[in-house]
Amino acid sequence: MQFGSIGAHVETRTIGIILNGVTGRMGTNQHLVRSILAIIRQGGIKVSDDLRLMPDPILTGRNPEKLRSLSETHGPPTIGKPLRWTTDLNAPLADKQYQVFFDASGTLQRGPFVEMADKAGKAIYCEKPAAVEATEALRLARLCERAGLKNGVVQDKLWLPGMRKIRMLRQQEFFGKILSVRGEFGYWVFSGQIEDQPAQRPSWNYRKEDGGGIIVDMFCHWRYVIDNLFGPIQSLVACGSTDVPERIAEDGKPYKATADDSAYAIFRLKDGTLCQFNSSWCTRVRRDDLLTIQVDGTRGSCVAGLREAWVQSLSETPKPVWNPDIPQPINFFEGWQKLPNATEYENAFKIQWELFLRHVALDEPFPWTLREGAKGVQLAELGLQSWRERRWLDVPELEGA
């Protein structure tokens, strides 16, 4: 960490950050551009009138052309020069200037990178899932814990405006007793077989052997969303499917889809609430958003999308009568009220990055650790097992440190 000064009274504390694998979809868009560079552009993280935290990134990866292009595209408009980059990860790992190691490479690559960063004594932050198996995710968590390293996993959905609105409604006791929760996630991901409709997600997402599958991908999110918004999960039953058996890869060649691309799950919470989540890359959207979560309570309901949320209280609830012989007299959408934005909502990834950097520099709490992330991997693993064995399974506590 370096100490410098901008202006007469403000101290700027620089935090060197190794950004590994950020040439990918999530790494470039969410982590480099919308988080780290956005923080630099806003003048760092303002901690107080006297102190700012300023990220100082270096890009690492395998492909020099991709790294150079990323550095030259995004460096000059933000810092007036290309961003630093290298294909030799060991160099910044050995450099004390870099305190933080971040990884957004593929899920199966994560373990060896976390090990390297652990040996180098860096604070470690990474994309979810940390691994595809709970024992491996837990092993990585323990590595950090035993070395006393600060660590975290991306749990971005918690800071989506829609999820924050649900949390606010709970805090206001809007729902009464929550009876059930229904999550609908998904959209059509093109197979790439029609040339003018290219696939919009990486092909490894559809190959189990490369860490793909919608259960591994999405159950990690559902775990922390449910734990944080609705309460701890006691048991689950799940079923998946590979709906589109063949897709076209980045190189234009067909490949066999070996991973699940749709999944249907019921999570029973310790307090008895039922949360049902459908996840699919093979569905067409006719709802308010790509993810909607409906919460039904005795005194009111809410449907939240990524940004907006709509509510209907008990007193505004219509009384429909079943009669398919006449056109539906009620426009059900009109009975819901859109919530105003209570505050300014920033990019969810950026918010979590700021919290992690404050944790690193100022020792502020950061509960979204690799261990918490391992709970998501555990849920995914149990989901796959439930599907395989066609039965309900309990969700046990993860082993201790």
* Residue with Cβ nearer ligand NAD (106 or 121): 106
107 part of the interface to ligand NAD, by CB under 6 A:
yes
String of DSSP letters for 237-292: EEEEE----EEE-TTS-EEE--S-SEEEEEEEETTS-EEEEEEESB----SSSSEE
**Per-residue x/- track, 21-50, ligand NAD (CB under 6 A):** x-xxxxx-----------------------
* Residue with Cβ nearer ligand NAD (119 or 338): 119
Confirm if 157 and 224 have CB atoms less than 8 A apart.
yes
140 part of the interface to ligand NAD, by CB under 6 A:
no
How would you classify residue 79: left for phi > 0, otherwise alpha for psi between -120 and 50, otherwise beta?
Answer: alpha
Say which amino acid occupies 378: Q
- Among residues 128, 165, 359, 371, which is the contact residue for ligand NAD, using CB under 6 A? 128
- Residue 167 CB, nearest distance to ligand NAD (Å)? 19
| DSSP code of residue 35 | I
Residue (of 111, 113, 120) closest to 16 by Cα position: 120
- Among residues 99, 105, 191, 273, which is the contact residue for ligand NAD, using CB under 6 A? 105
Which residues from 198-257 bind ligand NAD, rule CB under 6 A?
A: 202, 217
CA distance 32 to 216: 24
Residue (of 259, 296, 232) closest to 387 by Cα position: 259
Give the other-Cβ count within 10 Å of 202's Cβ: 16
- Among residues 41, 46, 62, 388, which is the contact residue for ligand NAD, using CB under 6 A? 62
- Among residues 10, 69, 84, 106, which is the contact residue for ligand NAD, using CB under 6 A? 106
SS3 call for 309: strand
Which residues, at least 6 apart from 308, have a Cβ–Cβ distance to it below 8 Å? 161, 162, 165, 288, 289, 338, 339
Which residues from 156-185 bind ligand NAD, rule CB under 6 A?
A: 156
- Residue 9 CB, nearest distance to ligand NAD (Å)? 38
> Dihedral of CA 206/265/395/154: which sign?
positive
Residue 57: what are its φ and ψ, rounded to 5°? -85, 155
* Residue with Cβ nearer ligand NAD (124 or 178): 124
Which residues, at least 6 apart from 232, have a Cβ–Cβ distance to it below 8 Å? 269, 270
CA distance 48 to 11: 10
- Residue 186 CB, nearest distance to ligand NAD (Å)? 13
- Residue 63 CB, nearest distance to ligand NAD (Å)? 6
- Residue 113 CB, nearest distance to ligand NAD (Å)? 7
- Residue 284 CB, nearest distance to ligand NAD (Å)? 21
373 part of the interface to ligand NAD, by CB under 6 A:
no
Give the other-Cβ count within 10 Å of 189's Cβ: 19
* Residue with Cβ nearer ligand NAD (49 or 88): 88
83 part of the interface to ligand NAD, by CB under 6 A:
no
Q: Which residue in the shown chain puts its C-beta closest to ligand NAD?
A: 24
- Among residues 154, 169, 189, 214, which is the contact residue for ligand NAD, using CB under 6 A? 154
SS3 call for 13: strand
The site that binds ligand NAD (CB under 6 A) totals a number of residues, namely: 21
Strands (E), 25-177: 45-46, 51-60, 84-86, 98-103, 123-126, 151-153
**Per-residue x/- track, 318-357, ligand NAD (CB under 6 A):** ----------------------------------------
**For the chain, how many residues are written?**
401
109 part of the interface to ligand NAD, by CB under 6 A:
yes
CA distance 212 to 205: 4
- Among residues 39, 58, 104, 303, which is the contact residue for ligand NAD, using CB under 6 A? 104
- Residue 255 CB, nearest distance to ligand NAD (Å)? 14
Confirm if 31 and 39 have CB atoms less than 8 A apart.
no
- Residue 123 CB, nearest distance to ligand NAD (Å)? 19
- Residue 299 CB, nearest distance to ligand NAD (Å)? 32
* Residue with Cβ nearer ligand NAD (62 or 256): 62
* Residue with Cβ nearer ligand NAD (128 or 359): 128
Site residues (vs ligand NAD, CB under 6 A): 20-21, 23-27, 61-62, 104-107, 109, 127-129, 154, 156, 202, 217
